[in-house]
A and B are shown apart, each in its own frame.
Chain A
Amino acid sequence: MFHGIVRRLLSAIPTLLIGITLCFLIIHLAPGNPAMRFLNPSQSAETQEIIRERFSLNQSLMVQYGHWLERVLFHFDFGYSFYNGKSCVAVLASALKPTLLLSFWALIFALFVGISLGIVAATKADTRFDRIINSIMMVFISTPAFWLGLMLIGLFTIRLGWLPGSHLHSLYYDQLNGFGQILDSVRHLILPVLTLGLPLAATLFKYIRAGMVDALQSDYILAAKARGFRQSTILWKYSLKNSLLPVVSLLGMIIPALLSGALIIEVVFALPGVGRAMVTAVFGRDYPILMAGVSLAFFIVILFNIIADIINMILDPRIQTGSGGL
């Protein structure tokens, strides 16, 4: 297993390099010029050249790439934002916290709701309860996240006035005591976590329910029943364990999906996360921030895929012993 993990880690390095190189080329070759936003009708050609020089846009693409890669690999320096002159590392470091907070709680919520409802629905397969839950989950799967967010804001913020619809904290957060601050943060996180977590919970629900239904109808469960195992043992020990395997693989894809989902949700709920920083960077052609964000995204995708592979290997030893294993 150790060799498998090492091989997997080593194979991730060229994947990461090729990925970010491609992204660098795509971002820089896309039509549009970041210096355009600094254009002024009364500006001289020399001034425009100075601005291009400030951002190294006057150099050839390969030279730009070489400098960028050298700075990143040897100094962990992703450069400065074209937009506000801030260090890209500082921008993303500050934006990462809210994104991780939102993604973490959305994942916990989705795992809890998706798995528990999936189990219940599987044990009551083809009943009215199952059909209703299935239908509700289908709605959440097919609903665009931004629309769901707006509907939740409309209901809980505007109509009922129960929950705030934007930002991480109230304006007077610093004036609150410790408990008040926690409560304030929780209130602000409920709607974005629901918006991000509900579609994810619905996806997990589908996998768990399908896996559980299959497992509950399989021969080894029949054998377990025949041997007089308790229903809860059959459910939790045998059925659920096997049903979780595809979910673990799915998690490798879900984590990046969570980040991309956060992208829209952070704009709707005005949260200061990576998604919002990236949206601003895309519209402003802020190449350094885009490249830093893309590199981070690549790293996360690869990292979580490796983690999912390792967990799969632990849960299902056939993977490491099989010829197609790690």
Chain B
Amino acid sequence: MKTPGRTNLFQICLSCLIVILLSSCQKSRPRQFEHSDLYPKTDHIQDGGTMVIGIRAEPESLNPLFALSQSSRNIIGLVFSRLADINEDLTSFSPRLAKSWEIFTDNPQIIFHLRTDALWQDRTPFTSNDVVFTYQMHVDSAIAWDGIAYKQNISSVEAPNDSTVVFSFYQNSRSMLMDAIEGYILPAHILQNIPPEDLFTADFNRHPIGTGPFEFGSWVDMQTLTLLKNNNFYEPGKPHLDRIIFRIIPDNFNLLNQLKAGEIDLVEGIYPKDYQTILQNWNQGQSIIRPISYLGRRYDFIGWNMIDPESYRFAIEAGTPPDAIKDNLKPNTLFGRQEIRAALTMALDRGAIMNTVNFGMAVPLNGPVPPILASYNESANASWEYNPQRAKALLSEQGWIDSDGDNILDRNGVSFEFELLTESGNLRWEQVATIVQAQLADIGVRATPRFLEPALLYGKLLPAKDFDAVVIGWSVGLTPDFSPLFHSATFFTPFHFTGYYSPEYDRLDELSKTTLSDAKAREYYNEIARLLSNDLPYTWLYYRMECSAVHSRFKDIIYDKRGIYINPEDWWIPQGERLYIDKVFQK
């Protein structure tokens, strides 16, 4: 979803649905490491050592109920545990605090059998009461937890005994398991006496107690946050590292220099240009910093305002009833017609844009379904190859011609010019906007880039729909759900900012969510991709690769589309490769 300020990326949880098998309980699968320098084949994993991770912004909270930024969530993932974690295939799950589970579809229920050997970091036993309490917090309106959508299909959570929890659902769904396990489990014995409305300012948010592999150590404001090995972690013999220190360094130049100097061991979100340098040095054997890249969770696009902002404002001010409001809106003069959006898309050399701003660290994206998901099917997307001549012809067919010889298309005295908004300070988006300006100028369209600071940009965009076109990006969830962006039911919610409306989309969206068959769901997602990539409420630009780097002494780090914090309890450092920082704390 969007987290204005800071690194400035939206954190969209394209929330729940799909994927989860209605099979019965999953078995834990041993992690397989391939033999390489990163995954050395050894029976002698050695405990000890320190990892220093550079982060750009201070975590706002270490309470899973209030954490929004990625850095907070990463740290929380080390301190807390879920009932189960999603696997790389994004369809199956591995047990964590739950040992196993059974899914019943007739009277939709999931029964979780919990671990009896898990302790909170204050040595209090973990019980089913904690799971019930966590669910109560998740749905408490005073908390306003940002993942509450996952819990909408859950009718009740009950604990028949200390090691069993029963989740009951309103209706059978493919996402029942995902809905149930979403959210880290909280310690009831610590939080249940604090009124929910006071939790936002509770001391627990800065001194958390969880069940994860690492426990909270210390937090020096705007400097460092230290986690220590949890010696009572429920997986015996883990974690291997003694401590993980998060060093907060807001300046990118400084962050990279400390990485190069070996003062920091891990950095995520490296700019592609810097990543290429790290990669080159690594390939030439000149560096101990190992580059790591993978298809991440973010894509960038141009969003077109399909409705006339004036008519939208008038309708809102006049208090037009929601049912009637769509009939009272005028289409946008410039972007209201699909043919125009198609022409503008064809006028853009999206491959060149992708390569220029990402230095090769991105893949093409032509539709709404992210390539990391099982439901992705490139052939389902409509193809809009770069073709400025065809773009110009399409615009001409719509009446847009240069009648006055000023090199700008016009129609009925209106010139084809608009503001292309984006977030100031986001170099990638600023570059995209500038290139788009140049490429559209070639077909006689004047786009004027305007860089706005985040709070102002999203204020104009999301609630007000007061814009022409915008270059931004979303983060995606691990399950597809596009309804907040395109379904008519969300027409007046902030993220539906393009004003797209299609009964056909609504139908497909609902079918994709309600079907119990994965194969059927995949078909519906193909149809959705076909429809949206043809209607083009967005011009999808590219899907980004995440660029990270880690000191080469760390072994057994698994990374994939889920991120880099998948198995921190398995990370270790061979004795012979340890540095001063690995030993100094043992003195």
Which A residues lie at the B interface, using CB under 8 A?
A: 31-34, 36-47, 50-51, 54, 80, 83-87, 91, 94-95, 150, 153, 157-158, 161, 165-169, 171-172, 175, 267-273, 276-277, 279-280, 282-285
Contacts and interface: CB of A to CB of B under 8 A. Distances in A.
13 contacts: A31-B459, A41-B485, A43-B144, A50-B144, A54-B144, A86-B206, A153-B257, A166-B254, A169-B223, A171-B52, A283-B4, A283-B454, A284-B5
Given A95-B221, A153-B254, A167 B453 contact: no
A272 B13 contact: no
B5 A167 contact: no
Nearest to B494: A39
A40 B4 CA distance: 12
Nearest to A285: B455
A36 B61 contact: no
Contact of A267 (B15, B245, B250): B250
A150 B453 CA distance: 24
Contacts of A267: 250-251
A41 B477 CA distance: 11
Interface string B183-227: 000000000000001001110011000000000000011111000
Contact of B220 (A272, A276, A280): A272
Given A175-B584, A276-B222, A283 B453 contact: yes
Interface in B480-516: 481, 484-485, 490, 493-495
Contacts of A167: 223-224, 247, 249
B261 to A, nearest CB: 7
A175 B61 CA distance: 28
A315 B585 CA distance: 55
B148 A47 contact: yes
Nearest to B220: A272
A43 B146 contact: yes
Give the size range of B's interface with the partner. 35 or more
Interface string B11-52: 011110000000000000000000000000000000000001
A40 B146 contact: yes
A287 B417 CA distance: 36
Contact of A39 (B1, B52, B149, B261): B1
Contacts of B260: 158
Contacts of A175: 584-585, 587
Contacts of A34: 455
B408 interface: no
A53 to B, nearest CB: 9
A213 B504 CA distance: 83
A277 B463 CA distance: 28
A141 to B, nearest CB: 24
Given A41-B14, A45-B493, A47-B144, A270 B224 contact: no
B200 A54 contact: yes
Given A153-B257, A158-B257, A168-B223, A37 B144 contact: no
B267 interface: no
A257 to B, nearest CB: 21
Contacts of B57: 280
B58 interface: yes
Contact of B141 (A47, A85, A171): A47
A36 B250 CA distance: 22
Contact of B60 (A42, A84, A161): A84
A171 B247 contact: yes
Nearest to A166: B254
A282 B250 CA distance: 15
A265 to B, nearest CB: 10
A31 B461 CA distance: 12
A42 B1 CA distance: 10
Interface string B240-267: 0000010111110110011011000000
B250 A41 contact: no
A287 to B, nearest CB: 11
B495 A39 contact: yes
A83 B60 contact: yes
Contacts of A41: 1, 12-15, 484-485, 490, 493-495
A28 B4 CA distance: 17
Contacts of A80: 200-201
Contacts of A38: 68, 144, 146
A296 B541 CA distance: 46
Top-3 shortest CB links A-B: A32-B455, A41-B484, A283-B5
B205 A85 contact: yes
A42 B581 CA distance: 43
Contacts of A83: 60
Interface in B420-471: 453-456, 458-460, 462-463
- Which residue of B15, B61, B459 has the most chain A CB atoms within 10 A of its CB atom? B459
B337 interface: no
B251 A270 contact: yes
B205 A166 contact: no
A290 B335 CA distance: 39
Contacts of A39: 1-2, 458, 462, 494-495
A50 B142 contact: yes
Contacts of B248: 270
A165 B200 contact: no
Contacts of A269: 251, 254
A33 B463 contact: yes
Given A41-B485, A42-B484, A153-B257, A276 B250 contact: yes
B6 interface: yes
